[in-house]
Amino acid sequence: MAKSKTVWYCKSCGAESLKWMGMCPSCGEWNTMVEAPAPAKNAGGGACHSLPSGGIPPMLLSEVDASGESRFSLHSDELDRLLGGGIVKGSIILLGGEPGIGKSTLSLQIPLHCEGLKTLYVSGEESVNQVKLRAGRLGGSGDSCYIYSETLIENILSEARKINPDLLIVDSIQTVYSEGLESSPGTVGQIRECAARFLRYAKESGTPVILIGHITKDGMIAGPKVLEHIVDVVLQFEGDNSGAYRILRGIKNRFGATSEIAVYEMTSGGLKEVSNPSDMLIPMHGEPLSGIAVSAMLDGTRPFLIETQALVSSAAYGTPQRSATGFDVRRMNMLLAVLEKRAGFRLGVKDVFLNMAGGLRVNDPACDLAVISAVLSSNFDVPISSHVCFCGEVGLSGEIRPVSQTDRMISEASRIGFERIFISSFTSLPDMFSHKGIEIVKISDVPQLCRSLF
């Protein structure tokens, strides 16, 4: 029996090689080569990879009619805003996230809550009965939603052409395989081939396709990096599975802005939109407590306020502990070093624990001022008023640096009902900016912050 031929694929860029290499010669990444069976050859001697071909002759750019880009709403304000005003016909969307975070729930809620939107929901991980049980828990009408449990891409595309749906959802791309390749589902070759076939179907039929993708232990979408280059939009779920809140972040969007976010709350009836996350993330206790400060931050283009919690205590085991949930622990260590060096606080012999409320992860430098305020409040055991919030970046020399779009965060804090906000003294606000109902306190460095608060 003849030995089957294999090739090596790079998981980052999809480059092929006849032998293993430590470093990919195409993209330069190390230890990314994986072995897979060689693709079958067609009658003409070429590989059976399908590439998108619209059959349209070359045209001058000035002759192209751009008014044909049509969108339709998914009846979800947050998702429509994240996509740039609705889903574009013929686009292909990749939705990634950790297991159990809500990818399948969100994708099934779309056809259930969009009456009249003919949808083909392809499930490669669940049977039709299992999808029906989940749909009953989510509610909504399934009169225009077709359920198809299949993993062979030839059968999926054949049924899609028969039904001619308005939307095609595939859960998940790692379970789909093609008969033209000998490798098993989930390998680099299968994912690349199936994604290219779905891309060709979307562009030729004008039907938008949503592909659900698994992620690796490193948080990256499983499969070759070329998968993210093929699709038009990449959305990724973030958040703690044990928490109630989820963030859907736009990483790539050819039809809208990137870095947009949509906030959802996981309930017994599915994912519920949080149109105003500031109301959910601000303090929910009656009297002021030490170690708590509210940060005004910007994630994407959306301003919201989040509660920052800190606990400073004596090191019980000699070696101080540093722990941060929802915040970069290395940045927290940098802020603690600034407090010790520039402000004279002896925090090197104390345990410091930091937590961002709601189970969300933030990376905006505007949270620095709230972090050090919460740490100082816990260290002194002096509470900060619940009507005070903070917005500013802390530099290594202890100065408070301004952040972008501070005026929007001040307006959000004023709308919520905060009475004072601490910002950098170097912040320049627009001439026409109005800050009715809130006092703006400008500070230049960490010692001035300590004198103003305590």
Alpha-carbon gap, residue 29 to 35, rounded angstroms: 16
Residue 290, number of CB atoms within 10 A of its CB: 17
Length of the chain equals: 454
One-letter identity of residue 397: S
* Partners of 390 in beta bridges: 295, 422
Contact call for residues 384 and 292 (beta carbons, < 8 A): yes
The tokens describing 390, both together, are 């903070």
**Could you tell me the sign of the dihedral formed by the alpha carbons of 16, 254, 210, 135, in that order?**
positive
Write the DSSP symbol of residue 66.
G
* Partners of 220 in beta bridges: none
Annotated binding residues, as ranges? 97-104
Paired sense of beta strands 167-171 and 145-148, if any: unpaired
One-letter identity of residue 253: N
Question: Max alpha carbon distance in the chain (Å)?
Answer: 83
DSSP-derived 3-state class of residue 206: coil
Contact call for residues 392 and 281 (beta carbons, < 8 A): no
Closest Cα partner for 377 from 369, 265, 437? 369
Residue 158, number of CB atoms within 10 A of its CB: 12
Alpha-carbon gap, residue 245 to 265, rounded angstroms: 4
Contact call for residues 394 and 369 (beta carbons, < 8 A): yes
Annotated binding residues for ATP, as ranges? 97-104
